[in-house]
Amino acid sequence: MLQDRLPPFIAAHYECHEWRHASAILSQDFPNEWWDILSVLEVFRLKKSWITQGGGRKSKVSEFIDGALYGRGWEEKDFKTGVYVDGVYTDSPTHSVDCFRNRVALEIEWNNKDPFFDRDLNNFRLLFDLQAVSVGVIITRCDDLQSIFKQIGRGTSYGASTTHMGKLLPRIEGGGGGGCPLLVFGISPTLFEDDET
């Protein structure tokens, strides 16, 4: 069971969900990757300055998580995929995965438009079916963070049509990930740190 496999800090500070025994697969078959993910999440804090300053191609949240995993040997990964029918090969590219190592794919969706979840889940489904990925992981934000965004004057920057747990769960429960085992972590308000005082 997922809650039994999570360190107390992760269970207390993240909203966690799994499908198709993802945590069992990670902890037993990919223990190094499982430990990497948990270790990065344990040191992560959501800094107020990352929210109030905004802007840029990639959020500070994504930069922190990506950077910590890249430092542990993960990489952004493009997969070359295609279809071969009756002697004719056709490229069928997938979207790159934010962080990948040893058949574990991880995406960070902090504040994108919510259709990015469809892209991620479809990518996980396809790569799982092609036996390139064994588990997909998504890190996003809890719905409860909206009250903090409003308090610091950034509520409109994190609107209802952006990536958060309330937009992700119905997509997964509706079968968006196909047969791919999935693990989801939601960043909660208890991780917020006011570094501007």
Write out the E strands in 14-166: 14-19, 46-47, 75-77, 82-85, 88-91, 97-101, 104-108, 135-141
Instruction: Write down the pTM of the prediction.
Output: 0.93
8 Å CB contact between 181 and 25: yes
Q: What is the pLDDT of residues 125-135, one digit of tens each?
A: 999 999 999 99
Give pLDDT, residue 54: 63
- Name the nearest CA neighbour of 99 among 141, 57, 136: 136
Alpha carbon distance 132, 129 (integer Å): 8
Length of the chain: 197
Does 158 have pLDDT greater than 90? no
Q: What is the pLDDT of residues 35-47, one digit of tens each?
A: 999 999 999 999 9
Give pLDDT, residue 43: 97
